[in-house]
Structure 1
Amino acid sequence: MGAGKTTIGRLLARKLNKRFVDSDHEIEARTGASIPWIFEIEGEACFRRREADVIRDLTARHDLVLATGGGAVLDPANRALLAERGTVIYLRASINSILQRTAHDKNRPLLQTADPRRKLEELMTQRDPLYREIADLVIDTGRPNVQSMVQTILDQIAAQEAARARRLAKTSMNEQAQITLNVELGERSYPIAIGPGLLNDGALLARHVAGGKVAIVTNTTVAPLYLERVAGQLRASGREVVEIILPDGEEHKNWQSLNLVFDALLANRCDRKTTVVALGGGVIGDLAGFAAASYMRGVPFVQLPTTLLSQVDSSVGGKTGINHPLGKNMIGAFYQPRAVLADTSTLDTLPARELSAGLAEVIKHGAILDAEYFAWIEQNIERLVAREPEAMAHAIARSCEIKADVVGRDEREGGLRAVLNFGHTFGHAIESGLGYGEWLHGEAVGCGMVMAADLSARMGLVDWATVERVRALVAAAGLPTVAPDLGEQRWLELMQVDKKNEGGTIRFILLKPLGSPSITTAPPELLRATLAACTAA
C-alpha cells in the first residue's frame, strides 16, 4: 500500500494504450460499499474472497493495466493467476515513504492502529517474499520523478520481451535440431534424444528420474565442465544428488573404480529407487551402467554421453561392464538405460583425438550395414573432422538408427548384434596388448577395421579397392592405420580371449561386401599374413 500503484499504473496504461483498473475500486463498484466498510462489517476474510473473485475476472482480460491491493499476494491462487496471465511489476517503497504517503489516509483499514510503523514492518516481512516470488520487474519508487519510473518500466518490459523472443527462437531452433529415436525392446524400450543444449534442459532429464535420489557418476575431466549444471537442475527439481567423481581413462575401467561407486551408493544410503546417471564418455557409461545393473540387483539408469564415441555407440544398447587384465569388457551385464540424452554441444569441448576416436564407430556402422552411409562419410569426413553441426548431427543420428535397429532385433548378441564388433577383435587385442589407455578405444577399433578389411580381401570376400577405401577413410578421420607389433603369438593369445569366440576358435566380423557383414573364422595362414602386413616392422 502507498507505493504509488495507482499513479504509476494510470500513466503506464496511457503509454501502453491500455485501460487502467484498480482492484480495490472494482470491488467498491461491484459491492456499492467502501473498502473500510467491508473490512469493518464483513471482515478481512470476506474482503479477500471478493478480491480473489475480482482478480480472477480481471486477469482473464486483455489490454489492461491492473493495480492490485497490497495483500492480494497472500492468496496462492491470486499469485498463480498473476504470474501466469501477466507481467508482474513490484513497486517497492520504504517504510518511511509509505508512512508519509498514507499518514492522513483513512481508507486504509490495516493502518488504523496505534503504531502504523510496526504494522507496516509486519506487513512488509510477510508480503515482500511473496511479491518477489512472482515479480517480473522490481521497481524502486523512492525517486520523485514518476515519468522517469514509468519510462524505466517501459524499457525493462521491452528488454524482457526481446529476450523472450530470443529464447523462443532458440527453443524453436533446438526443437527442430533435436532428434528422438527409440530402441524397441518391449517393456524395456527407451528413447534416444540427440540435439544441442540437452544438458540445459533440466525438465527433460527429470522426466526420466522416478525417485527422489540421483547418483551422478562422472570423471575428473567431465566434472568441471558439466557436473554442476546437471546436478543443480536435478536439485532444483527436488532431487537429492550424490556426486561420484572417478579418475579419467580406460585404465580405470576396473574393479577399483566400480567399488568406489558402490562405496558412495552405500555411504549415502541409496535405495532401489535411486537413479544412476552416467555423465561422461564410454568408460563412464559402461562402468556406471554395470554399477546400476549390480547395485541391489538393479536400479534405474540414464545415459548422458559427452563424447562422440559414446553418443554414436556405447551409450546405446545396454552393454555395460569393466575390463579384466586378461581381456577387455569381459566382466559385465546387458542392462538397458531408461533413456539416452546426447547433447551434441558437448562435442565443442572434445579434444581432437577423442573426436577421431568417435569417428571410428561412425565409420564402422557404414562399413558393416550401410554402404550408402559409408559413401556419405567419405564425402563428408572433412566436415565431420571440422565438427560442422549439420554433418555431425546426421552422423550421430544415422549411427544411432543403425545400432538401435540391430539391438532391437538382437538385444543379447545371440547372432546379428555381433556384427557391431567389426574391427573390435583386432582392436581389443591392441588395447590389451599395449595396456589399457595407451591407445584410445576408437583408435584401436579404427586400426582394427583396416586389419579386418585386409583379412576380408585375403579371404576373397572383398576386392583390394575396398580395403584401400577403408584405410583411406580411417586415416582421413585422424586414426592410426598401422598396428603395433605385439608379436604373432601374443596377437593370437589376445584374440582368443574374445566374447564372440566359440570352442577356442577365433571368430571375426568381416566385410562381404562393403556394407554387409560376415561372421566367420579365418584360415591361420591368412590371419598370419594380415598380421604381418598390417603391423609395424
Structure 2
Amino acid sequence: MGAGKTTVGRILARRLGKRFVDSDHEIEARTGASIPWIFEIEGEPSFRRREAEMIRELTAQSGIVLATGGGAILNPDNRAYLKQRGIVIYLRASVDSILQRTSHDKNRPLLQTANPRERLEELTAQREPLYREIADLVIDTGKPNVNTMVHAILQQLGALGARKRRAQRMRKHSGKNMSDAMQATEANQLQRLDVALGERSYPILIGENIYSDPDLLAPYVNGQQAVIVSNTTVAPLYLQGLQQALEGMGKQVHSVILPDGEAYKDWPHLMQIFDAMLGAQCERKATLLALGGGVVGDMTGFAAACYMRGVPFIQIPTTLLAQVDSSVGGKTGINHPMGKNMLGAFYQPRLVLADTATLASLPQRELSAGLAEVIKYGAVLDAAFFDWLEQNIDALLQRDVDAMTYAILRSCQIKADVVARDEREGGLRAVLNFGHTFGHAIEAGLGYGVWLHGEAVGCGMVLAADLSCRLGKIDQASAQRVRALVAAAGLPTRAPDLGADWLKWMMVDKKNEGGAIKFILMQELGRPWIGSVPDEALQATLSACSQAVG
C-alpha cells in the first residue's frame, strides 16, 4: 500500500497504449461502497473474496494495466492468476516512505491503528516473500519522480523482452543439447533496482550467469575501447568470458591484472591501471570494468574518476561483500598507511551487475565477511530484515540461491535508498558505517589484510552494540542478538586488544568532526544513532570486548 501503484499504473498504461484498471476502484464501483465501509461492515474476509473474484475476472482480459491492492497476493489463487496471465511489477517502498505517503489517508483500514509503523512492519514481513515469489520486475520507488519510475519500468520491460528473445534463439540453435549454463540463464529471474541520482542514476541487476551477458552490457559500453580490471584470483575464473563477450560486441579489450588483497589497494597499484590505459591510448569514451571484489571495485572506480577527469565504468562484483556494499553508491579510493580509504572520490558507475553464480567460487571465509555488511543493514536500518537474517543465516551460509538473491536485493535496496538521499555522506549516509569505526581501527592496527574487511566490520558491530547498550540506547537482549547473529555468520566477536592504538586509529576517520570521534550506534534494532560518547563508556566496551593479540 502507498507505493504509488495507481499513479504509476495510469501513466504506464498511457505510455503503452493500454487501458488502466484498479481492482479496488472496480470493487467500489460494483458494490457502491467504499473499501473502508466493506472492511467495517462485512469484514476483511468478505473483502478478500470480492477481491479474488475481481482479480480472476480482470486477469482474463487483455490490453490492460492492472493495479491490485497490496494484500491481493495473500490469496494463492490470486498469485497464480497474476503470475500466469501477465507480467508482474512489484513497486517496493520502505516503511518510512509508506508512512509518509499514508499519514493523512483515512481510506486504508489496515493502518487505522494506534501504531501504524508496527502494523506496516508486520505487513511487510508477511507480504514481502510473496511479492518476490511472483514478481517479474522489482522497481524501487525511491526515485526523483513518477516519470523516472515509469521510465525504469519501460526499460526493464524492454530488457525482459530481450532476454526472452535470447532464450528463444538459444533453444532454436541448441535444441535438446542446450548447455546447463544456458538453461540456468534462461530460467533465471533477473532482479533490478535503480540508484536514483538524477542524471547519475544507474541500475543494479541481480541474477545468475549474467556477468558476461552482452544484452545487459551493450547499452552501457558505448565507446570502442574497454579495459577490464581484475586480480590474480578472479581473472582465471571469469576474465575470458567477459573479454569474449565484449569482443563479440566489437570492442577493443584490454585487461589489467592486479595482485589480490587489501594490502595492494595503494597508489603504486593504482598507477598500473593508468599505465595500461595510457599505453593502450585509451580515449575519454573508453569504459573501465571492475571484475572482482571490493578492492578491485574501489580502485577501478577511482581510476575512472581520475583518467582524463572522468571516464565511464561498470561494476561487476564477484564477492558478496562487494555485491551488497562497495559496488553500490559511488565511493571509490585507495588506502594510505595512516588511514583506510583516505584518498578517493565519489564517482558513480554506469551499471552494477551482481552475478550470484560467482559466489559459488567464493571461499567460506570471504562469504562470511560479506554477510557482515548484510547484517549491518538489518541492525541499523531494517529490523524486519534483521529478523529474516536470524531465521535464514544457515541457508545463506549454505549459499541457497533464493535466500542469497533476496539478501543481496534487500541490502542493495536499503543502500540505494540511503545513497539517493545523501550521495556524498553529508549526514544520513554515515549510518552505513555502523561497525566501521571499530572495524577500520582493527584493520589498520593489525595491518591491512590480516583480518578481512568484513571480519573487522562484524566484530566492530559487536563493539558498537555493546557500547549502545552501555549508553542505555538498547537493552542487553538486543546487544546479544547482534553478537549471536555475527557469531552465527562465522565472524569474530572478540576484537584484538590494540591498547592505546585504539584511539589513534579511530581518530583517523572521515566521519570525525572537531577532533571528536563520531560513532554510529543503535537506539534500537533497525534505528541508528550518531554522536560522540563518554570516554569511560568507550573504554569499558574496549576492555570487555577485546582480547590479547596472538
* TM-score, scaled relative to structure 2: 0.67
Residue of structure 1 equivalent to 2:248: 236
Contact kept in structure 1, 2:464 and 2:520, CA below 8 Å: yes
CA distance in 2, matches of 1:191, 1:278: 16
With over 3 angstroms needed to count, the CA separation of the structure-2 counterparts of 1:492 and 1:388, relative to structure 1, is same
Q: Which of 515, 518, 524 lines up with 1:507 in the alignment?
A: 518
Q: Which runs of 5+ in 1 are unaligned?
A: 1-156
Residue of structure 2 equivalent to 1:277: 289
CA distance in 1, matches of 2:296, 2:181: 33
Correspondence 1:162 to 2:167: no
CA distance in 2, matches of 1:189, 1:386: 34
Q: CA deviation at 1:534?
A: 0.6
Q: Which runs of 5+ in 2 are unaligned?
A: 1-170
The DSSP-based 3-state class of the residue aligned with 2:458 is helix
With over 3 angstroms needed to count, the CA separation of the structure-2 counterparts of 1:171 and 1:226, relative to structure 1, is closer
Residue of structure 1 equivalent to 2:435: 423
Q: Which of 525, 534, 542 lines up with 1:531 in the alignment?
A: 542
The DSSP-based 3-state class of the residue aligned with 1:430 is helix
Residue of structure 1 equivalent to 2:400: 388
With over 3 angstroms needed to count, the CA separation of the structure-2 counterparts of 1:193 and 1:264, relative to structure 1, is same
Per-residue CA shift, 1:438-461, capped at 9, x if unaligned?
A: 000000000000000000001100
Within 5 Å, which residues of 2 pair with 1:422-461?
422-461=434-473
Correspondence 1:201 to 2:238: no
With over 3 angstroms needed to count, the CA separation of the structure-2 counterparts of 1:221 and 1:164, relative to structure 1, is closer
Q: CA deviation at 1:271?
A: 1.0
Per-residue CA shift, 1:299-348, capped at 9, x if unaligned?
A: 00100000000000100000000000010001100000000000000000
Per-residue CA shift, 1:371-394, capped at 9, x if unaligned?
A: 010010001000000101010011
Within 5 Å, which residues of 2 pair with 1:72-221?
160-163=174-177, 170-174=184-188, 176=189, 178-221=190-233
Contact kept in structure 1, 2:184 and 2:209, CA below 8 Å: no
Q: Which of 270, 276, 284 lines up with 1:258 in the alignment?
A: 270
Instruction: Name segments (4+ residues, structure 1) moved above 2 Å.
Output: 157-172
CA distance in 1, matches of 2:508, 2:343: 12
With over 3 angstroms needed to count, the CA separation of the structure-2 counterparts of 1:338 and 1:169, relative to structure 1, is same
Q: CA deviation at 1:161?
A: 3.3
CA distance in 2, matches of 1:351, 1:431: 20
The DSSP-based 3-state class of the residue aligned with 1:512 is strand
Residue of structure 2 equivalent to 1:366: 378
Q: CA deviation at 1:510?
A: 0.2
Contact kept in structure 1, 2:185 and 2:209, CA below 8 Å: no
Q: CA deviation at 1:425?
A: 0.1
With over 3 angstroms needed to count, the CA separation of the structure-2 counterparts of 1:210 and 1:159, relative to structure 1, is closer
Residue of structure 2 equivalent to 1:351: 363
Residue of structure 2 equivalent to 1:152: none
Correspondence 1:464 to 2:480: no
The DSSP-based 3-state class of the residue aligned with 2:220 is coil
The DSSP-based 3-state class of the residue aligned with 2:211 is helix
* Identical-residue share of aligned pairs (%): 65
Q: CA deviation at 1:179?
A: 0.3
With over 3 angstroms needed to count, the CA separation of the structure-2 counterparts of 1:294 and 1:158, relative to structure 1, is closer
CA distance in 1, matches of 2:453, 2:368: 11
RMSD of the TM alignment (CA)? 1.6
With over 3 angstroms needed to count, the CA separation of the structure-2 counterparts of 1:235 and 1:512, relative to structure 1, is same
Residue of structure 2 equivalent to 1:492: 503
Residue of structure 2 equivalent to 1:107: none
Correspondence 1:412 to 2:424: yes
Correspondence 1:339 to 2:351: yes
Q: CA deviation at 1:172?
A: 4.1
CA distance in 2, matches of 1:506, 1:235: 49
Residue of structure 2 equivalent to 1:50: none
- Is the deviation greater in 230-239 or in 163-172? 163-172
Letter in 1 for 2:520: I
Q: CA deviation at 1:158?
A: 10
Residue of structure 1 equivalent to 2:279: 267
CA distance in 2, matches of 1:202, 1:246: 25
Q: CA deviation at 1:200?
A: 3.8
- Is the deviation greater in 199-208 or in 366-375? 199-208
Q: CA deviation at 1:162?
A: 2.5
* TM-score, scaled relative to structure 1: 0.69
CA distance in 2, matches of 1:503, 1:297: 32
With over 3 angstroms needed to count, the CA separation of the structure-2 counterparts of 1:158 and 1:221, relative to structure 1, is closer
CA distance in 1, matches of 2:173, 2:308: 52
Q: CA deviation at 1:163?
A: 3.9
The DSSP-based 3-state class of the residue aligned with 2:342 is strand
With over 3 angstroms needed to count, the CA separation of the structure-2 counterparts of 1:312 and 1:159, relative to structure 1, is closer
Q: Which of 495, 510, 521 lines up with 2:532 in the alignment?
A: 521
Within 5 Å, which residues of 2 pair with 1:6-25?
none
The structure that has the greater radius of gyration is 1
The DSSP-based 3-state class of the residue aligned with 1:199 is coil
Letter in 1 for 2:265: K
CA distance in 2, matches of 1:445, 1:352: 17
CA distance in 2, matches of 1:166, 1:386: 21
Residue of structure 2 equivalent to 1:108: none
